[in-house]
Amino acid sequence: MLSLSAKNLMGKAYKQEYTYKHPWERVSSASWRKFADPENKRTLSHILEVDTLNHKLDPDSGKLYTTRAITIHAPGPWFIRKIVGQDICHCVESTVVDGQSRSMQLTTRNISLQKFIEVQEKIRYDPHPDNPDRWTICRQETSIQIKPLSALASMAEKVEQRCAEKFVQNSAKGREVMERICKYLEAESSGISL
């Protein structure tokens, strides 16, 4: 259950929607484990490290704020590498979980290579309106923009396109991993060990 739409404004913006047939509690738990599970390291091999930099719990409202650093290996074609000079990119992901209304929002953006490119990804997990206690809807929005005055500007269109393709590929891998962890958590909660 995936829908994808793209529009070409300045840069590229992508929207995706996906339904997990698992309750929000399980899906949001899986989201935290997505990068950490050693078993998934192979599927998400572009993720090198994930560190939690900061977190805050508001015990009155049931809101949890977390900031994580995500180090990504993003090798482009040789001519890009030559200009950019590195193929490691640091991103900062900030997450707000509202335990009361059952929503999880993640915003990730790159903090290195900013003079060349800006990528922002927003993901939201909410209970699915058709089946709020058993299904979860995931909405994902990605925007990619080459900085107009950067050395990459002349090939912006091409680079953005390539970047966007990579994102779509990687989010498919991300969903695969999420589904796997959800299954695992489901088995765990019913007392079956895998």
Partner 1 sequence: MGILRKDKKSADSSSTSSTSPCANLRTAYHNCFNRWYSEKFVKGQWDKEECVSEWRKYKACLSEHLEDKHLTRFLDAEESVDYSGISR
| Binding region for partner 1 (CB under 8 A) | 24-26, 28-29, 32-33, 36, 48-49, 51-57, 59, 62, 64-67, 69, 71, 86-88, 90, 92, 94, 96-97, 99, 105, 107, 109, 111-112, 118, 120, 122, 185
Q: Residue 2 or 39: which CB sits closer to partner 1?
A: 39
Residue 95 burial (CB count, 10 A): 19
| DSSP type of residue 95 | E
Which of 127, 72, 133 shows the shortest CA–CA distance to 101? 127
Q: Minimum distance from CB of 180 to partner 1 (Å)? A: 15
- 116-140: b (≥16 Cβ within 10 Å) or e: bbebebebbbbbbeeeeeebbbbeb
Q: Residue 111 or 172: which CB sits closer to partner 1?
A: 111
Q: Minimum distance from CB of 175 to partner 1 (Å)? A: 19
H helix runs in 34-155, sequence order:
78-84
Which of 174, 126, 96, 171 shows the shortest CA–CA distance to 19? 126
Q: Minimum distance from CB of 2 to partner 1 (Å)? A: 23
Q: Minimum distance from CB of 105 to partner 1 (Å)? A: 5
Q: Residue 6 or 111: which CB sits closer to partner 1?
A: 111
Q: Counting beta carbons within 10 angstroms of the beta carbon of residue 5, is it exposed (0 to 12), middle (13 to 18) or buried (19 or more)? A: exposed
Q: Minimum distance from CB of 110 to partner 1 (Å)? A: 10
β-bridge mates for residue 141, sequence order: 15, 122
Q: Minimum distance from CB of 102 to partner 1 (Å)? A: 8
Q: Residue 143 or 171: which CB sits closer to partner 1?
A: 143
Q: Residue 1 or 111: which CB sits closer to partner 1?
A: 111
β-bridge mates for residue 20, sequence order: 136
Q: Residue 32 or 83: which CB sits closer to partner 1?
A: 32
Asked if residue 47 lies in contact with residue 79, where contact means CB atoms within 8 angstroms, the answer is no
